[in-house]
């Protein structure tokens, strides 16, 4: 299971790096890579086709990342249970502890000193 989780994390990282590259290649005003191909009218990718490709790649990579993350969460499942040798640390409550009244102590009756012998 650890190898599958590691594989998913590597795929998430690769998809994330590709997404960053695709987003950085786009021009916020709609130019981006299309400005490179815009001058040649006989280019295989036209201006519109490049913009469509970049937009579809962005959405696809975003969806792939989300799906991979959801799969990794499902695979990991619930958190591991505490082993019997390890006891969880109990927190003390912040409420003040009840103070019980001191126990009544029994004392021996006071003895009077013995009378001096004559």
Name 5's Cβ contacts closer than 8 Å, sequence gap at least 6. Answer: 72, 75, 76
Mean pLDDT of 77-96: 66
Mean pLDDT of 44-59: 75
- Note the pLDDT of residue 52: 83
Q: What is the mean pLDDT of the chain?
A: 75
| CA pair distance 70, 66, nearest whole angstrom | 6
Burial class for 8, CB neighbours closer than 10 Å (0-12, 13-18, 19+): middle
Burial class for 50, CB neighbours closer than 10 Å (0-12, 13-18, 19+): buried
- Categorise residue 110: left if φ over 0, alpha if ψ from -120 to 50, beta otherwise: beta
Q: What is the pTM of this model?
A: 0.51
- Note the pLDDT of residue 42: 46
Q: How would residue 21 be classed by pLDDT, with cut points 50, 70 and 90?
A: very high
Count CB atoms within 10 A of the CB of residue 22: 20
- Note the pLDDT of residue 12: 95
Mean pLDDT of 73-92: 71
Domain boundaries, the chain: 2-76
């Amino acid at each position: 299971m650890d190898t599958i989780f590691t594989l998913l994390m590597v795929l998430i990282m690769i998809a994330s790096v590709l997404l960053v590259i695709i987003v950085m290649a786009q021009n916020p005003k709609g130019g981006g890579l299309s400005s490179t191909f815009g001058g040649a009218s006989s280019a295989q990718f036209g201006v519109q086709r490049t913009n469509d490709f970049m937009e579809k790649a962005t959405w696809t990579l975003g969806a792939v990342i989300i799906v991979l993350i959801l799969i990794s969460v499902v695979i990991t499942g619930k958190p591991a249970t505490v082993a019997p040798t390890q006891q969880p640390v109990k927190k003390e409550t912040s409420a003040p502890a009840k103070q019980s009244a001191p126990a009544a102590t029994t004392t021996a009756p006071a003895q009077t000193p013995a009378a001096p012998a004559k």
